[in-house]
Amino acid sequence: MSNYSIKNLEEYFQVYRKSVREPENFWEEVAEEHFTWRKKWDKVLSWDFSIPEIKWFENAKLNITENCVDRHLLTRGEKTAIIWEPNDPEEESLHISYKELLERVNKFANVLKDNGIKKGDKVCIYLPMIPELSVAMLACARIGAIHSVVFAGFSATALATRTNDADCKMLITADGSFRGNKTLDLKGIVDKALEDCPNVETVLVAKRIDADINMKEGRDKWLQPLLEEASSECEPEIMDAEDPLFILYTSGSTGTPKGMVHTTGGYMVYTAYTFKNIFQYKEEDVYWCTADIGWITGHSYILYGPLANGATTVMFEGVPSYPDYGRFWEVVEKHKVNQFYTAPTAIRSLAKRNIEFVEKYDLSSLKVLGSVGEPINEEAWHWYNDNIGKNKSPIVDTWWQTETGGIMISPIPYVTPAKPTYATLPFPGIQPALMDENGTELKGNQVDGRLCIKFPWPSMARTIYGNHKRYKETYFSAFENKYFTGDGALRDEVGYYRITGRVDDVIIVSGHNLGTAPIEDAINEHPAVAESAIVGFPHEVKGNALYAFVILKETGESRNQDNLRKEINQQISDRVGPIAKPEKIQFVSGLPKTRSGKIMRRILRKIASNDTSNLGDTSTLLNPEVVDEIIESSM
């Protein structure tokens, strides 16, 4: 039996048991079986959740790009590593072989070096889904620079905050991007962001839309001519297993976004191992994850996990609705996709359209369907299963987080059973625990509590960049000696997990993790606004949508409300991004507050969901009268 590839239910239980009883031996065997190390570890694991400090494969030496690219050249040099599918189906797709990928990565790595980037430097990448994005990330990893990818839909303010927080010296962007029938002025956003980023010395600009853009003398350089001149040889920098590989930001319930730091060895082992099993990837398969690489899903399951297995991975520039709602299925047919991984919000939005958009295409290549980002509701699960999987492709509902680096709880297709809306069983090495509010672990089945993880796994984030204290407080303080996920979950009668949603103030909108605080800050900065509160409410397509309750200053009360709504929306777009625009903005005279001054969001959530029959205990409110007023004016 190979630990690396799990083939049936009995093997799953055997492997899982071993992973819990002898975690060090188990992970050592996985790491030895599949990867190339320049030097093996002295110790598999040392950990202490009270500091917290976690080290995997201590003192091992490697370069992740050697594992993701070089070592495949012997057997897979001509195999396609990346299929790039452009926004416009009329434009040709690109097949990049492993050999060509190595050349591209090396050239890009040399360009980084020529522009002063060295091991340990931070590079911000703000690119659309074009091949340069994958190549740029691997080029950073090649020379030991730390990439910080910022989703190219974020606003100038959000980009500036992240660039500064990560101390980036360089920023890589494009002249613009295509999104459906629109173009986005990425370089304009970058220019605006960089007004507040004094430490960025160089901006490399990829040409994508041929826009007439401003190039700042001495700072901005076109990327392609530099790549053409660069050498295609670049020795990989030898990294320690615990050297940082990347920083990726995620929203918290309060405060600034958190720059999660992922390190090299453990991240590689875990993403590769989960990819291999959870998608049951076979050598000739074509795998497609529709996420943007700007999110962790893209990092782990478009790039690193698939490439570490020598897979063919599709990178899609476009959107599911362009040129029409059949685009995903057209791409599945065109590239004979075998594993397809997407988000519930995409499934819900496609399920609303005419079924002809699906039926036109041959989807018989599909073997595994995946879902990620938020709980998948029963209806969407069945639509996906019936119409896309034709009842023959198992669905893997994969639960995980930016912080976990890789998939944590998920069925293994053709190995463990699926159950609609359940992420089901923990992956080998993952030890979940459900806790009650008093910090007691709920043992046995048929329990419902807060989801924690009791034991380290190789791809967990090691810290929050520049703020280890916050890392400890956010993840390791709620429950002693456990990693707290921020999610609620239940365990059913046979031990399957169902994620019930966030228990903190993070709201998941269309699979995007949004903290309430930055959006409220953006609203409060409007000169007419005194205070605001954002809550989520169920939405048919987005999963959750945002509802803003806004108190105006006396000076703002006479203003036209529609205009104010427009201005507030604009303000949110500029400061956080268009994703964060609320579905509804209600002006109110007060917000329900406890005597200690905390907004009682539970009540606002009920009002936003139009479920005001039972508001629960409001006796601790300082201003109960405001509740009726808000309800009345919400109708």
Binding site for ligand PRX (CB under 6 A): 250, 296-297, 372-375, 397-402, 423, 485-487, 499, 502, 508, 513
Closest distance to ligand PRX from the beta carbon of 291 (Å): 8
Residue with smaller CB distance to ligand PRX, 12 or 475: 475
Closest distance to ligand PRX from the beta carbon of 269 (Å): 18
Closest distance to ligand PRX from the beta carbon of 605 (Å): 16
Residue with smaller CB distance to ligand PRX, 291 or 522: 291
Tokens matching residue 167: 């101390």
Residue with smaller CB distance to ligand PRX, 237 or 292: 292
Is 75 exposed, middle or buried, given 0-12, 13-18 or 19+ CB atoms closer than 10 A? exposed
Residue with smaller CB distance to ligand PRX, 297 or 387: 297
Torsion over CA: 280, 281, 283, 288 (sign) = positive
Closest distance to ligand PRX from the beta carbon of 589 (Å): 33
Residue with smaller CB distance to ligand PRX, 132 or 374: 374
Tokens matching residue 518: 């930055």
Residue with smaller CB distance to ligand PRX, 311 or 489: 489
Q: Which residue has the tokens 């992240």?
A: 162
Closest distance to ligand PRX from the beta carbon of 407 (Å): 8
Closest distance to ligand PRX from the beta carbon of 188 (Å): 27
The SS3 assignment for 59 reads coil
Residue with smaller CB distance to ligand PRX, 285 or 374: 374
The SS3 assignment for 462 reads coil
Q: CA 142, CA 96: separation in Å to the nearest integer?
A: 18
Closest distance to ligand PRX from the beta carbon of 45 (Å): 23
Our measurement of the distance from residue 587's CA atom to the centroid of its chain's CA atoms, rounded to an integer in Å, reads 33
Angle at the Cα of 151 (from 147 to 157), degrees rounded to 5?
100
Residue with smaller CB distance to ligand PRX, 110 or 421: 421
Q: CA 532, CA 199: separation in Å to the nearest integer?
A: 34
Closest distance to ligand PRX from the beta carbon of 345 (Å): 11
Q: Which long-range contacts (CB under 8 A, 24 or more apart) does 500-504 make?
A: 500/375, 500/448, 501/375, 503/450, 504/253
Closest distance to ligand PRX from the beta carbon of 370 (Å): 9
Closest distance to ligand PRX from the beta carbon of 282 (Å): 24
Q: CA 430, CA 417: separation in Å to the nearest integer?
A: 18
Length of the chain: 635
Q: Give exposure, 128-157, as e/b (b: 16+ Cβ within 10 Å).
A: bbbbbbbbbbbbbbbbbbbbbbbbbbbbbb
Q: CA 382, CA 366: separation in Å to the nearest integer?
A: 16
Residue with smaller CB distance to ligand PRX, 351 or 630: 351
Position closest to ligand PRX via CB: 402
Quickly count helices (H) and strands (E) in the chain.
21, 30
Q: Which residue has the tokens 């295409």?
A: 361
Q: Are strands 146-149 and 244-250 parallel, antiparallel or unpaired?
A: parallel
Q: CA 617, CA 586: separation in Å to the nearest integer?
A: 23
Give which of 407, 405, 319, 404 is closest to 368, Cα–Cα.
407
> What single-letter amino acid sits at 552?
L
Give which of 159, 142, 129 is closest to 63, Cα–Cα.
142
Residue with smaller CB distance to ligand PRX, 271 or 532: 271
